[in-house]
Amino acid sequence: MGYRCNLLTEEIYQDLPDSFKDKWKDEYNIESCISSMSERKGHYSILEDLQKILKKNSWRDEVLLVGVLLWEDGYIRPFKLYPDRLEQENSIFTAIHEDNL
């Protein structure tokens, strides 16, 4: 099965093209933000598509989008999408164990 996660982005203030929405409508909720409908191995394809759309109206090194990957074992990995790269920050571990209660 592999190591899976969910994706959640901040609000997107740019209209996304219908072709993008049609391509991803079965896997993601696309409203003012984007969230995955289920866990999957990676969400890099949709982030690449978003990068192509959002960078058309941005400055060279401006952050296009901020979001998080919510991993199945409790890790949360924030990310920033730039016109030319995806930066992932250090993971935050959030799992609750009985011995911590």
Domain definitions of the chain by residue range = 5-100
Distance, CA of 84 to chain centre: 16
pLDDT in tens, 39-86: 998 899 999 999 999 888 777 678 889 999 999 888 899 999 998 889
pLDDT at 65: 92
Which residues make beta-bridge pairs with 35? Answer: 8, 29
**Model-level pTM greater than 0.85?**
no
Question: Do residues 10 and 47 make contact, with C-beta atoms less than 8 angstroms apart?
Answer: no
pLDDT in tens, 2-49: 789 999 999 998 889 999 999 999 999 999 999 999 999 889 999 999
